[in-house]
Amino acid sequence: MAHQQLPSQSAIVGTEEHEQEAIDELIALLPISQCLVHPVHRLYQNFWCPITVLPNVITFQRHFKAKDKDIVLISHPKSGTTWLKALVFSVVNRSHLDISNTPLLTSNPHEVIPFIEHKPWSDLDGLAEPRLLATHIPYLSLPKSIKESNCQIIYICRNTLDTVVSSWHFLVEAAQLMDEQVWSLEEHFETCCQGQILFGPFWEHMLGYWKESLERPSKVLFLKYEDLKEDIGGQLKKLADFVGLPFTKEEEGGGVIEEIAKMCSLKTLKDLEANGSSKLPGTTFEKRSFFRKGEVGDWTNHLTPSMVDRLNSIMQEKITPFGLQFKTR
Ligand code: PAP
Protein backbone atom coordinates (compact mmCIF):
# COMPACT_ATOMS: atom_id res chain seq x y z
CA MET A 1 0.00 0.00 0.00
CA ALA A 2 1.26 3.41 -0.92
CA HIS A 3 2.89 5.54 1.73
CA GLN A 4 0.81 8.65 2.45
CA GLN A 5 2.89 11.80 2.32
CA LEU A 6 2.04 14.72 4.55
CA PRO A 7 2.03 18.14 2.95
CA SER A 8 5.01 20.18 4.15
CA GLN A 9 4.78 22.11 7.43
CA SER A 10 4.86 25.41 5.56
CA ALA A 11 1.64 24.50 3.80
CA ILE A 12 -0.27 24.69 7.06
CA VAL A 13 1.27 27.56 9.01
CA GLY A 14 -1.19 30.24 10.03
CA THR A 15 -4.18 30.19 12.30
CA GLU A 16 -5.34 27.01 14.01
CA GLU A 17 -8.39 27.14 11.84
CA HIS A 18 -6.27 27.06 8.70
CA GLU A 19 -4.33 24.13 10.05
CA GLN A 20 -7.52 22.29 10.90
CA GLU A 21 -8.81 22.82 7.37
CA ALA A 22 -5.54 21.56 5.89
CA ILE A 23 -5.70 18.47 8.11
CA ASP A 24 -9.31 17.82 7.10
CA GLU A 25 -8.33 18.10 3.43
CA LEU A 26 -5.44 15.74 3.91
CA ILE A 27 -7.63 13.19 5.70
CA ALA A 28 -10.31 13.33 3.01
CA LEU A 29 -7.71 12.16 0.46
CA LEU A 30 -6.58 9.12 2.45
CA PRO A 31 -7.76 5.61 1.54
CA ILE A 32 -10.65 4.42 3.68
CA SER A 33 -10.96 0.89 5.06
CA GLN A 34 -13.33 -1.31 3.10
CA CYS A 35 -13.88 -3.82 5.86
CA LEU A 36 -17.17 -4.35 7.67
CA VAL A 37 -15.71 -3.62 11.05
CA HIS A 38 -16.28 -0.27 12.73
CA PRO A 39 -14.87 2.22 13.62
CA VAL A 40 -13.89 3.41 10.17
CA HIS A 41 -10.17 3.75 9.54
CA ARG A 42 -8.09 5.75 7.11
CA LEU A 43 -4.72 4.56 5.86
CA TYR A 44 -2.30 7.15 7.14
CA GLN A 45 1.46 6.65 6.84
CA ASN A 46 0.88 2.95 6.23
CA PHE A 47 -1.20 2.30 9.33
CA TRP A 48 -4.96 2.13 9.74
CA CYS A 49 -5.95 4.99 11.98
CA PRO A 50 -9.49 5.41 13.37
CA ILE A 51 -10.87 8.61 11.83
CA THR A 52 -12.10 9.70 15.25
CA VAL A 53 -8.52 10.25 16.46
CA LEU A 54 -6.63 10.94 13.22
CA PRO A 55 -6.80 14.77 13.44
CA ASN A 56 -5.27 14.62 16.94
CA VAL A 57 -2.62 12.15 15.76
CA ILE A 58 -1.56 14.51 12.97
CA THR A 59 -1.55 17.59 15.21
CA PHE A 60 0.43 15.73 17.84
CA GLN A 61 2.93 14.52 15.26
CA ARG A 62 3.50 18.02 14.00
CA HIS A 63 3.69 19.94 17.25
CA PHE A 64 4.51 17.72 20.19
CA LYS A 65 7.82 18.49 21.91
CA ALA A 66 8.99 15.63 24.06
CA LYS A 67 10.81 16.38 27.29
CA ASP A 68 13.81 14.27 28.26
CA LYS A 69 12.04 12.99 31.35
CA ASP A 70 8.86 11.93 29.53
CA ILE A 71 7.88 8.28 29.70
CA VAL A 72 5.68 7.19 26.81
CA LEU A 73 3.68 3.96 27.13
CA ILE A 74 2.90 2.38 23.79
CA SER A 75 0.97 -0.67 22.67
CA HIS A 76 -1.10 -2.14 19.94
CA PRO A 77 -4.69 -2.09 21.29
CA LYS A 78 -5.71 -4.86 23.70
CA SER A 79 -2.16 -5.84 24.55
CA GLY A 80 -2.21 -4.79 28.22
CA THR A 81 -2.20 -0.99 27.98
CA THR A 82 -4.53 -0.46 30.95
CA TRP A 83 -2.44 -2.74 33.15
CA LEU A 84 0.80 -1.10 32.04
CA LYS A 85 -0.58 2.36 32.81
CA ALA A 86 -1.48 1.32 36.36
CA LEU A 87 1.90 -0.34 36.91
CA VAL A 88 4.05 2.49 35.56
CA PHE A 89 2.01 5.12 37.40
CA SER A 90 2.48 3.21 40.66
CA VAL A 91 6.21 2.62 40.17
CA VAL A 92 7.03 6.20 39.18
CA ASN A 93 4.95 7.87 41.90
CA ARG A 94 5.62 5.45 44.75
CA SER A 95 7.92 7.78 46.70
CA HIS A 96 5.15 10.32 47.32
CA LEU A 97 1.92 8.40 46.78
CA ASP A 98 0.88 5.74 49.20
CA ILE A 99 -1.11 2.84 47.75
CA SER A 100 -3.90 3.63 50.23
CA ASN A 101 -4.58 6.95 48.48
CA THR A 102 -3.43 6.32 44.94
CA PRO A 103 -5.57 8.02 42.25
CA LEU A 104 -6.00 4.52 40.80
CA LEU A 105 -8.60 3.93 43.51
CA THR A 106 -10.79 6.72 42.17
CA SER A 107 -9.87 7.03 38.49
CA ASN A 108 -9.51 4.64 35.59
CA PRO A 109 -5.85 4.10 34.52
CA HIS A 110 -6.72 5.77 31.19
CA GLU A 111 -7.67 8.93 33.09
CA VAL A 112 -4.48 8.81 35.12
CA ILE A 113 -2.27 8.48 32.02
CA PRO A 114 -3.86 10.08 28.95
CA PHE A 115 -3.83 8.78 25.42
CA ILE A 116 -2.23 11.46 23.32
CA GLU A 117 -4.61 10.71 20.46
CA HIS A 118 -7.67 11.20 22.67
CA LYS A 119 -6.66 14.63 23.96
CA PRO A 120 -5.83 17.85 22.22
CA TRP A 121 -2.01 17.73 22.38
CA SER A 122 -1.70 21.21 23.98
CA ASP A 123 -3.39 19.92 27.17
CA LEU A 124 -0.29 17.89 27.88
CA ASP A 125 1.92 20.87 28.71
CA GLY A 126 0.47 21.22 32.21
CA LEU A 127 1.23 17.65 33.33
CA ALA A 128 3.63 17.11 36.24
CA GLU A 129 7.10 15.78 35.42
CA PRO A 130 8.03 13.14 34.62
CA ARG A 131 5.08 13.24 32.24
CA LEU A 132 3.50 9.86 31.71
CA LEU A 133 1.84 9.67 28.30
CA ALA A 134 0.40 6.90 26.18
CA THR A 135 -0.32 6.20 22.56
CA HIS A 136 -1.13 3.45 20.07
CA ILE A 137 0.79 5.20 17.24
CA PRO A 138 3.34 2.98 15.40
CA TYR A 139 7.03 3.73 15.82
CA LEU A 140 7.58 5.17 12.35
CA SER A 141 4.81 7.72 12.87
CA LEU A 142 5.88 8.98 16.30
CA PRO A 143 6.80 12.66 16.50
CA LYS A 144 10.48 13.21 15.76
CA SER A 145 11.08 14.69 19.19
CA ILE A 146 10.05 11.44 20.90
CA LYS A 147 12.62 9.56 18.86
CA GLU A 148 15.36 12.14 19.19
CA SER A 149 15.02 13.32 22.80
CA ASN A 150 16.11 11.28 25.82
CA CYS A 151 12.53 10.41 26.73
CA GLN A 152 11.84 6.73 27.27
CA ILE A 153 9.36 4.36 25.66
CA ILE A 154 7.79 1.35 27.33
CA TYR A 155 6.07 -0.93 24.84
CA ILE A 156 3.75 -3.78 25.78
CA CYS A 157 2.97 -6.57 23.39
CA ARG A 158 0.67 -9.60 23.58
CA ASN A 159 0.15 -12.74 21.54
CA THR A 160 -2.15 -11.97 18.63
CA LEU A 161 -4.48 -14.93 19.14
CA ASP A 162 -5.58 -13.33 22.40
CA THR A 163 -5.65 -9.72 21.16
CA VAL A 164 -7.92 -10.67 18.25
CA VAL A 165 -10.43 -12.16 20.69
CA SER A 166 -10.04 -9.30 23.16
CA SER A 167 -10.49 -6.56 20.54
CA TRP A 168 -13.56 -8.30 19.13
CA HIS A 169 -15.26 -8.39 22.52
CA PHE A 170 -14.34 -4.78 23.19
CA LEU A 171 -15.49 -3.34 19.87
CA VAL A 172 -18.69 -5.36 19.69
CA GLU A 173 -19.63 -4.29 23.20
CA ALA A 174 -18.95 -0.65 22.30
CA ALA A 175 -21.05 -0.98 19.12
CA GLN A 176 -23.93 -2.50 21.09
CA LEU A 177 -23.83 0.39 23.53
CA MET A 178 -24.14 2.81 20.64
CA ASP A 179 -26.92 0.76 19.05
CA GLU A 180 -24.69 0.16 16.05
CA GLN A 181 -24.57 -2.88 13.85
CA VAL A 182 -22.29 -5.58 15.27
CA TRP A 183 -20.12 -7.99 13.33
CA SER A 184 -19.06 -11.59 13.74
CA LEU A 185 -15.78 -12.85 15.11
CA GLU A 186 -15.10 -14.23 11.60
CA GLU A 187 -15.44 -10.74 10.08
CA HIS A 188 -13.27 -9.25 12.78
CA PHE A 189 -10.67 -11.99 12.32
CA GLU A 190 -10.53 -11.39 8.57
CA THR A 191 -10.00 -7.66 9.15
CA CYS A 192 -7.13 -8.39 11.55
CA CYS A 193 -5.48 -10.78 9.09
CA GLN A 194 -5.68 -8.10 6.41
CA GLY A 195 -3.95 -5.75 8.81
CA GLN A 196 -6.92 -3.36 8.84
CA ILE A 197 -7.50 -3.43 12.58
CA LEU A 198 -7.01 -0.22 14.65
CA PHE A 199 -3.43 0.99 14.29
CA GLY A 200 -2.61 -2.12 12.25
CA PRO A 201 -1.13 -4.03 10.64
CA PHE A 202 -0.32 -5.47 14.06
CA TRP A 203 2.87 -7.14 12.82
CA GLU A 204 4.35 -3.84 11.71
CA HIS A 205 3.37 -2.24 15.00
CA MET A 206 5.13 -4.90 17.04
CA LEU A 207 8.20 -5.06 14.84
CA GLY A 208 8.73 -1.30 14.81
CA TYR A 209 9.16 -1.24 18.58
CA TRP A 210 10.85 -4.65 18.79
CA LYS A 211 13.64 -3.59 16.42
CA GLU A 212 14.08 -0.29 18.21
CA SER A 213 14.27 -2.03 21.60
CA LEU A 214 17.09 -4.22 20.28
CA GLU A 215 18.98 -1.27 18.83
CA ARG A 216 18.37 1.12 21.73
CA PRO A 217 17.60 -0.89 24.88
CA SER A 218 17.92 2.14 27.14
CA LYS A 219 15.37 3.99 25.00
CA VAL A 220 12.74 1.30 24.46
CA LEU A 221 11.73 -1.34 26.97
CA PHE A 222 9.79 -4.15 25.27
CA LEU A 223 7.46 -6.02 27.63
CA LYS A 224 5.15 -8.95 26.98
CA TYR A 225 1.72 -9.40 28.58
CA GLU A 226 2.42 -13.11 29.05
CA ASP A 227 5.64 -12.37 31.01
CA LEU A 228 3.72 -10.00 33.30
CA LYS A 229 1.16 -12.72 33.95
CA GLU A 230 3.92 -15.24 34.71
CA ASP A 231 6.20 -13.13 36.89
CA ILE A 232 4.78 -9.72 37.80
CA GLY A 233 7.43 -9.15 40.49
CA GLY A 234 10.34 -9.72 38.09
CA GLN A 235 8.74 -7.55 35.42
CA LEU A 236 8.06 -4.74 37.91
CA LYS A 237 11.74 -4.76 38.89
CA LYS A 238 12.73 -4.61 35.24
CA LEU A 239 10.38 -1.68 34.68
CA ALA A 240 11.62 0.20 37.77
CA ASP A 241 15.26 -0.31 36.73
CA PHE A 242 14.47 0.94 33.22
CA VAL A 243 12.98 4.23 34.42
CA GLY A 244 15.91 4.75 36.81
CA LEU A 245 13.90 4.12 39.99
CA PRO A 246 15.03 0.64 41.10
CA PHE A 247 13.37 -0.86 44.16
CA THR A 248 15.58 -0.57 47.23
CA LYS A 249 16.30 -3.55 49.48
CA GLU A 250 14.03 -1.95 52.08
CA GLU A 251 11.21 -1.66 49.57
CA GLU A 252 11.66 -5.25 48.46
CA GLY A 253 11.75 -6.45 52.07
CA GLY A 254 8.75 -4.29 52.97
CA GLY A 255 6.56 -5.84 50.29
CA VAL A 256 6.25 -2.75 48.06
CA ILE A 257 6.47 -4.80 44.86
CA GLU A 258 3.68 -7.13 45.99
CA GLU A 259 1.57 -4.15 47.03
CA ILE A 260 1.87 -2.54 43.59
CA ALA A 261 1.16 -5.85 41.85
CA LYS A 262 -1.97 -6.32 43.94
CA MET A 263 -3.23 -2.77 43.46
CA CYS A 264 -2.80 -3.08 39.68
CA SER A 265 -4.20 -6.60 39.38
CA LEU A 266 -7.22 -7.21 37.18
CA LYS A 267 -9.27 -8.25 40.18
CA THR A 268 -8.55 -5.10 42.22
CA LEU A 269 -9.08 -2.68 39.34
CA LYS A 270 -12.13 -4.44 37.98
CA ASP A 271 -13.90 -4.37 41.36
CA LEU A 272 -13.45 -0.64 41.88
CA GLU A 273 -16.43 1.66 41.47
CA ALA A 274 -14.14 3.97 39.51
CA ASN A 275 -13.98 1.32 36.81
CA GLY A 276 -17.71 0.77 36.50
CA SER A 277 -20.14 1.59 33.74
CA SER A 278 -19.52 5.33 33.48
CA LYS A 279 -18.01 6.48 30.20
CA LEU A 280 -14.32 7.17 29.87
CA PRO A 281 -14.26 10.94 29.20
CA GLY A 282 -13.81 11.81 25.55
CA THR A 283 -14.75 8.31 24.38
CA THR A 284 -17.84 6.17 23.87
CA PHE A 285 -16.35 3.35 25.96
CA GLU A 286 -17.47 2.35 29.43
CA LYS A 287 -14.62 2.20 31.92
CA ARG A 288 -15.44 -1.36 32.87
CA SER A 289 -14.94 -2.55 29.27
CA PHE A 290 -11.15 -2.37 29.69
CA PHE A 291 -11.30 -5.24 32.20
CA ARG A 292 -12.54 -8.60 30.99
CA LYS A 293 -10.85 -11.96 31.61
CA GLY A 294 -7.18 -11.06 31.42
CA GLU A 295 -6.08 -14.60 30.59
CA VAL A 296 -3.38 -16.02 28.41
CA GLY A 297 -5.04 -18.51 26.07
CA ASP A 298 -8.66 -17.31 26.00
CA TRP A 299 -8.39 -17.75 22.22
CA THR A 300 -8.84 -21.49 22.76
CA ASN A 301 -12.48 -20.72 23.64
CA HIS A 302 -13.18 -18.73 20.48
CA LEU A 303 -10.92 -19.41 17.49
CA THR A 304 -11.34 -22.38 15.16
CA PRO A 305 -8.30 -24.54 14.27
CA SER A 306 -8.18 -22.97 10.80
CA MET A 307 -8.20 -19.45 12.27
CA VAL A 308 -5.35 -20.42 14.59
CA ASP A 309 -3.37 -21.90 11.67
CA ARG A 310 -3.86 -18.78 9.60
CA LEU A 311 -2.82 -16.37 12.33
CA ASN A 312 0.13 -18.55 13.30
CA SER A 313 1.36 -18.59 9.73
CA ILE A 314 1.12 -14.79 9.52
CA MET A 315 3.19 -14.60 12.70
CA GLN A 316 5.67 -17.17 11.34
CA GLU A 317 6.12 -15.20 8.16
CA LYS A 318 6.13 -11.64 9.49
CA ILE A 319 7.36 -11.75 13.08
CA THR A 320 9.33 -14.92 13.89
CA PRO A 321 12.21 -14.17 11.45
CA PHE A 322 13.02 -11.16 13.63
CA GLY A 323 13.35 -13.27 16.78
CA LEU A 324 10.05 -12.19 18.33
CA GLN A 325 7.98 -14.98 19.83
CA PHE A 326 5.10 -15.30 22.27
CA LYS A 327 3.73 -17.80 24.72
CA THR A 328 0.13 -18.43 23.75
CA ARG A 329 -1.16 -20.34 26.79
P1 PAP B 1 -6.67 -0.79 25.32
O2 PAP B 1 -5.61 -1.00 24.29
O3 PAP B 1 -8.01 -0.50 24.75
O4 PAP B 1 -6.25 0.18 26.38
P5 PAP B 1 -5.78 -3.01 26.87
O6 PAP B 1 -5.76 -2.56 28.27
O7 PAP B 1 -4.49 -3.01 26.12
O8 PAP B 1 -6.86 -2.20 26.06
O9 PAP B 1 -6.34 -4.48 26.78
C10 PAP B 1 -7.42 -4.93 27.51
C11 PAP B 1 -7.08 -6.36 27.91
O12 PAP B 1 -6.21 -6.33 29.04
C13 PAP B 1 -8.30 -7.15 28.32
O14 PAP B 1 -7.98 -8.50 27.98
P15 PAP B 1 -9.11 -9.62 27.71
O16 PAP B 1 -10.11 -9.03 26.79
O17 PAP B 1 -8.36 -10.76 27.11
O18 PAP B 1 -9.64 -9.96 29.04
C19 PAP B 1 -8.32 -6.92 29.82
O20 PAP B 1 -9.05 -7.89 30.53
C21 PAP B 1 -6.84 -7.00 30.14
N22 PAP B 1 -6.49 -6.30 31.38
C23 PAP B 1 -6.93 -5.07 31.78
N24 PAP B 1 -6.41 -4.76 32.96
C25 PAP B 1 -5.65 -5.81 33.34
C26 PAP B 1 -4.88 -6.10 34.51
N27 PAP B 1 -4.79 -5.25 35.50
N28 PAP B 1 -4.22 -7.27 34.56
C29 PAP B 1 -4.30 -8.15 33.54
N30 PAP B 1 -5.03 -7.95 32.42
C31 PAP B 1 -5.70 -6.80 32.32
Residue 187 maps to which CATH number?
3.40.50.300
Q: How far apart are CA 300 and CA 203, in angstroms?
A: 21
User: Counting beta carbons within 10 angstroms of the beta carbon of residue 223, is it exposed (0 to 12), middle (13 to 18) or buried (19 or more)?
Assistant: buried
- Of the candidates 41, 76, 110, 136, the residue annotated as catalytic is 136
**How much distance in Å is there from the Cα of 55 to the middle of ligand 1?**
26
Closest CA to 314 of 140, 155, 161, 137: 161
Tallying the residues shown for the chain, one arrives at 329
Domain membership flag for residue 232? yes
Mutate to test the pocket of ligand 1, among 52, 74, 75, 83 (most ligand atoms within 8 A of CB): 83
Count of structural domains within the chain: 1
**How much distance in Å is there from the Cα of 39 to the middle of ligand 1?**
19
Domain range for 150 is 30-322
**How much distance in Å is there from the Cα of 307 to the middle of ligand 1?**
22
- Check pocket membership of 291 for ligand 1, CB cut-off 6 A: yes
Residue 162 corresponds to which amino acid?
D
Q: Tens place of pLDDT for every residue, the chain, 329 residues?
A: 222 233 333 333 344 778 889 999 999 999 988 766 666 889 999 999 998 899 999 998 988 999 999 999 999 999 999 999 999 999 999 999 999 999 999 999 999 998 988 776 667 878 889 999 999 999 999 999 999 999 999 999 999 999 999 999 998 998 888 888 888 999 999 999 999 888 999 999 999 999 999 999 999 999 999 999 999 999 999 999 999 999 999 999 999 999 999 999 999 999 999 999 999 988 888 999 999 999 999 999 999 999 999 999 999 999 999 999 999 99
Domain membership flag for residue 4? no
Closest CA to 240 of 264, 221, 214, 268: 221
Domain membership flag for residue 327? no
Residue nearest to atom 27 of ligand 1 (CA): 266
In this prediction, residue 38 carries a pLDDT of 65
Domain membership flag for residue 13? no
- Check pocket membership of 77 for ligand 1, CB cut-off 6 A: yes
Dihedral pair phi/psi, residue 135, rounded to 5°: -160, 160
Mutate to test the pocket of ligand 1, among 78, 108, 167 (most ligand atoms within 8 A of CB): 78
**How much distance in Å is there from the Cα of 258 to the middle of ligand 1?**
20
User: Counting beta carbons within 10 angstroms of the beta carbon of residue 194, is it exposed (0 to 12), middle (13 to 18) or buried (19 or more)?
Assistant: middle
Domain membership flag for residue 8? no
DSSP letter at 116 equals: G
- 169 belongs to the catalytic site: no
Q: How far apart are CA 208 and CA 229, in angstroms?
A: 24
